[in-house]
Amino acid sequence: MKTTIGIVDDHLLFAKSLGLMLKSFNEYEVLVEAQNGRDLQDKLSKVKIPPSIMLIDVNMPLMNGHETAKWLRAHYPRMKLVALSMNDGDKVIIDMIKAGCCAYLLKETHPDELEKALQEIHLTGYYNADASNIVFRRTPMDDEKESVYVNEKEMLFLQHACSDLTYKQIASLMNLSERTIDGYRETLFGKLNVQSRVGLALESIRRGFVPL
């Protein structure tokens, strides 16, 4: 049985091309195509079974990707949400993750990586390109939580890192030097096996260290 997918993107040519690419993978069926969040709401109301995975463009008129993801998370909590964008800015990515997306993919992503990401999302509910060699689970096991110890200061840093604050602003807020903040960052990169702030946010949310 094929995995059903929805696409919401106001660039029709990209959406159609993406649909054809997904069809070429032979494991997916595009069930819904919409041009923005409002259009998606209307089209979802007409299908009996919603798609398992929804690919969401970040920048759209009328109802953007962030608003769309929040609405989908509230109305279709079992649906796996994947952000698609040309924007690789930390703030945009973290906002989409906090809105409920389990992955953030750039539109320039190679088809092989897209296929791999969709496979992991379908099987495990999560995809982090920073640490894609890890087997992800939507809800971490208790022993996994125990395997990574995060102290009180590190936990506070993680909460700030999942916001739009700069590292300099985080240092000021925590009354610490920027060098100390850099130390927290590098330590947590190692503990969570990630390589970027985006990966740090994904893992922090996945493990329950930072609530959505």
Same domain, 103 and 166: no
For 158-172, how does the pLDDT look when each residue is reduced to its tens digit (9 = 90+)?
Answer: 989 888 788 999 999
Q: Quote the DSSP letter at residue 2.
A: P
**Is the CB of residue 73 less than 8 Å from the CB of residue 98?**
no
Q: Which amino acid is at 183?
A: G
Same domain, 47 and 91: yes
Residue 133 in any domain: the answer is no
- The candidate with the shortest Cα–Cα distance to 25, out of 98, 116, 108, 100, is 116
Same domain, 106 and 80: yes
C-alpha pair distances (Å), 185 with each of 162, 175, 191, 192:
12, 16, 10, 10
Instruction: Check residues 50 and 199 and name the one with the higher pLDDT.
Output: 50
* Alpha-carbon gap, residue 195 to 133, rounded angstroms: 13
For 34-44, how does the pLDDT look when each residue is reduced to its tens digit (9 = 90+)?
Answer: 999 999 999 99
Phi, psi dihedral angles at 77 (to 5 degrees): -60, -20
Determine if residue 75 is left, alpha or beta; phi over 0 gives left, psi from -120 to 50 gives alpha, anything else beta.
Answer: alpha
Residue 137 in any domain: the answer is no
Residue 212 in any domain: the answer is no
* Alpha-carbon gap, residue 99 to 70, rounded angstroms: 5
* Alpha-carbon gap, residue 88 to 35, rounded angstroms: 21
Mean pLDDT (whole number) for 185-212: 83
CATH number at residue 165: 1.10.10.10
The domain in which residue 77 lies consists of 3-127
Residue 135 in any domain: the answer is no
Mean pLDDT (whole number) for 189-209: 83
Q: What pLDDT was estimated at residue 130?
A: 61
Exposure letters 159-192 (e unless 16+ CB within 10 A, then b): ebbbbeeebeebbeeeeeeeeebeebbeebbeeb
Beta bridge pairs of residue 53: 5, 80
Same domain, 57 and 118: yes
Mean pLDDT (whole number) for 133-143: 40
Q: What pLDDT was estimated at residue 200?
A: 85
Residues 6 or more apart from 120 whose CB is under 8 A from it?
Answer: 126, 127, 132, 136
Same domain, 156 and 189: yes
* Alpha-carbon gap, residue 70 to 84, rounded angstroms: 15
How many domains is the chain built from? 2
